[in-house]
Amino acid sequence: MRGRDGQSAEGRQVSRSPRHRAREFVIQGLYQHQLGGNDMAAIRAHAESVAGFDKADTKLYATLLEETLAHVPELRDAIAPHVDRAWEEVSPIERSILLLGACELRFHSETPYRVVINEAIELAKTYGGTDGHKFVNGVLDKLAPMLRPDEARPAGHQP
C-alpha cells in the first residue's frame, strides 16, 4: 500500500502523474461528501488548502468532482447490478472509487477504459481495504462493456 508520501509498501518511490493526483483528490472529496455531507464548495476549498494540490491536474479534478457529484444516483444505478452486496455495505472509499470510475467510463471516452480501470485499481490499492482492488477491478470490468460497448467487450465476446 502507498501513502500520500509516494512510497510503496516495498519502500520504493512511486511517481504519480498530475491526473492520478487529481483522481486522488476526487475520491477524497467523494468520501467527504458521503460521510460528512460536504457540498462541492466545501470539498473544493478543503482540497485546495492541502499540500500537494498544486501538483494535481486541477482542471481534471474540478471536472471529475463536479460530474461525479452531479450524477451519483445514475452512476450508482449503473454500478449496482455488478456489486454482490448492498451499496451501503461497500466501504465508503471503495464506493468513491467506483463512482469515479463509472463517471470516467460514462462521460470521458477520451480516456481509454483500460486506463480508467487501472487508475481505479491503483487508488483501491492505496486507499482501499486489503482486497478492495480486486473488488473494484471486478465491478468496473463488468461495467465497462455496458458504458463503452464499442470499446470494451464482455469476456469471451468475439468481434
Q: How far apart are CA 91 and CA 102, in angstroms?
A: 16
- Could you tell me the pTM of the whole model? 0.87
- For residues 144 and 112, the answer to whether their CB atoms sit within 8 Å is no
1-18, pLDDT tens digit by residue?
344 444 444 443 456 899
Angle between helix 132-147 and 92-107 (nearest 10)? 30
Residue 6 φ/ψ region, left for φ over 0, alpha for ψ in the -120 to 50 degree band, beta for the rest: left
87-133, pLDDT tens digit by residue?
999 999 999 999 999 999 999 999 999 999 999 999 999 999 999 99
126-153, pLDDT tens digit by residue?
999 999 999 999 999 999 999 999 887 7
Q: At residue 151, what are phi and psi to the nearest 5 degrees? A: -105, -45
Q: How far apart are CA 114 and CA 134, in angstroms?
A: 15
User: Which class in CATH covers the domain with range 18-147?
Assistant: mainly alpha
Per-residue model confidence (pLDDT) at position 153: 73
End-to-end CA gap in the chain: 37
- For residues 17 and 55, the answer to whether their CB atoms sit within 8 Å is no
Per-residue model confidence (pLDDT) at position 16: 84
21-48, pLDDT tens digit by residue?
999 999 999 999 999 998 999 999 999 9
Per-residue model confidence (pLDDT) at position 11: 43
Residue with cell 516495498: 10
44-87, pLDDT tens digit by residue?
999 999 999 999 999 999 999 999 999 999 999 999 999 999 99
Per-residue model confidence (pLDDT) at position 152: 76
Q: Supply 37's cell numbers.
A: 455531507
Q: How far apart are CA 63 and CA 59, in angstroms?
A: 6
